[in-house]
């Protein structure tokens, strides 16, 4: 599919003087959530230097040999390391990346490398997770207010001090590509998807390009997206945030969980072909959190059930995509056969 690029700008929201400005910030956040579902944050408690430093930590992890990273493999508890293994239903092909996911709770047992493998890694990752959680809790307070819930309603549902917390910090490394070898059009660094968490915080070194968004989704139960994409750039030290399917559902579809992707570089001279690093913090509900919007549009579900259904929808969409690709390949083989017969007949 040919990409149509559309200029849009996402709002930049300052968290300066948060306690005194909470109502103004709430209004800005809700407006952003109701439109494109993406916004960037500045003046947070995470400094640009802290973001630089966590990228050094992430690069040191990815610099380890694969056989060391493979000692903490990805599991269905949504933690651990994977490489070339995440297939998106939108593409049917694996993202060109590796990633390592960490959590706060008991799912991380045996999923941290020993300190001798990467001295200081675990405490620096955990310190950063707590800072990202603290920024997230400010946003949760505002979104609760905006929806008419008590201020600490979403914070309690995402309590990372509980053993059944599911919130994730994800380090991502998209591989360097050779500019002389064109990437097929259906291959992406990260294929189009919507996040199924409550709210995602994204960090990038300034100047890394590739992230694109495609707003326009009306209901959380639909899987499709349009074809008008907008590139998003990051100012140094800013955090780009997006609403996930869980908050879209919890707001009765008022706040939008928007499709996004990371395009592969395609034009030497314009695009960056070197490695790309990013960090995502996914706010996931505790397994026993009870989820229902103020207007009760969707039936009440637990955090565990919501996640299970989101994964099921994802796998069903992936199955459909695989069948579609298989049918195309069969069609291609048959058309190829017809062509061969036609050539034979005309020879």
Ligand X SMILES: O=C(O)CCC(=O)C(=O)O
Distance CA 343, CA 346 (A): 5
Nearest to 57 by CA among 12, 104, 121: 121
CB closer to Fe ion out of 82 and 195: 195
By C-beta, is 96 or 147 nearer to ligand X?
96
Using CB under 5 A as the binding criterion, the count of chain residues that bind Fe ion stands at 1
Q: If binding is defined by CB under 6 A, does position 72 make contact with ligand X? A: no
Closest CA to 216 of 40, 33, 35: 35
For the window 222-261, what string marks contact with ligand X as x by the rule CB under 6 A? --------------------------------------x-
Shortest Å distance, C-beta 211 to ligand X = 4
Write out the DSSP string of 13-73: EE-TTHHHHHHHHHHHHHHHHHTTSEEEEES-SS-HHHHHHHHHHHHHHHTS-HHHHTTSB
Binds 145: which of ligand X, Fe ion, none (CB < 5-8 Å by kind): none
Tell me which stretch binds Fe ion (CB under 5 A): 36-44, 105-113, 189-197, 311-319: 189-197
Residue 195 makes contact with ligand X by CB under 6 A = yes
202 binding partner (options ligand X, Fe ion, none; Cβ < 5 to 8 Å by kind): ligand X
Helix (H) or strand (E) holding 40: strand 38-42
Contact call for residue 280 and ligand X (CB under 6 A): yes
What is the footprint of ligand X within residues 151-190 (CB under 6 A)? 170, 172, 190
| CB atoms inside a 10 Å sphere around CB 264 | 22
Q: Which is nearer to ligand X, 252 or 271 (CB)?
A: 271
Residue (159 or 245) nearer to Fe ion, CB = 245
Residue-by-residue DSSP string for 278-327 = EEEEEE---TT-EE--TT--S--EEHHHHHHHHHHHHHHHHHHHHHHHHH
Are 44 and 125 in contact by the 8 Å Cβ rule? The answer is no
Compute φ and ψ for 312, nearest 5 degrees: -60, -45
Selection from Fe ion, ligand X, none that 286 binds (CB < 5 to 8 A by kind) is: none
Residues that bind ligand X (CB under 6 A): 170, 172, 190, 195, 202, 211, 260, 262, 278, 280
Give the footprint of Fe ion on this chain (CB under 5 A). 195
């Amino acid at each position: 599919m040919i990409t149509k690029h559309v200029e849009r700008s996402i709002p930049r929201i300052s968290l300066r003087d948060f306690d005194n400005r909470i109502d103004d910030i709430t209004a800005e956040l809700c407006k952003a959530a109701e439109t494109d579902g993406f916004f960037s944050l500045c003046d947070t408690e995470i400094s640009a230097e802290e973001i630089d430093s966590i990228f050094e930590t992430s690069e040191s992890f990815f610099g380890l040999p694969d056989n060391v990273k493979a000692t903490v493999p990805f599991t269905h508890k949504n933690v651990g390391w994977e490489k070339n293994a995440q297939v998106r239903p939108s593409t049917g092909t694996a993202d060109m990346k590796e990633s390592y996911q960490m959590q706060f709770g008991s799912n991380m047992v045996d999923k941290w490398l020993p300190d001798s493998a990467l001295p200081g890694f675990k405490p620096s990752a955990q310190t950063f997770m707590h800072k990202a959680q603290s920024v997230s809790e400010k946003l949760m307070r505002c979104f609760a207010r905006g929806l008419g819930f008590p201020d600490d309603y979403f914070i309690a549902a995402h309590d990372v001090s509980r053993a059944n917390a599911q919130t994730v910090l994800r380090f991502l490394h998209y591989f360097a590509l050779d500019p002389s070898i064109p990437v097929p059009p259906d291959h992406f660094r990260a294929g189009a998807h919507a996040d199924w968490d409550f709210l995602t915080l994204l960090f990038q070194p300034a100047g890394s390009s590739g992230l694109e968004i495609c707003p326009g989704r009306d209901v959380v139960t639909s899987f499709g997206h349009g074809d008008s994409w907008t590139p998003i750039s990051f100012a140094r030290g800013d955090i780009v945030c997006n609403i996930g399917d869980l908050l879209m559902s919890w707001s009765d579809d008022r706040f939008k969980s928007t499709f996004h992707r990371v395009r592969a570089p395609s034009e030497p001279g314009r695009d960056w072909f070197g490695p790309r690093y990013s960090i995502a913090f996914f706010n996931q509900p505790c397994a026993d959190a009870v989820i229902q919007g103020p207007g009760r549009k969707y039936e009440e579900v637990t955090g565990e059930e919501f996640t299970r259904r989101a994964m099921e929808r994802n796998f069903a969409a992936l199955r459909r995509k695989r069948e579609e690709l298989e049918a195309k390949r069969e069609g291609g083989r048959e058309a190829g056969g017809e062509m061969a017969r036609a050539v034979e007949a005309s020879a």
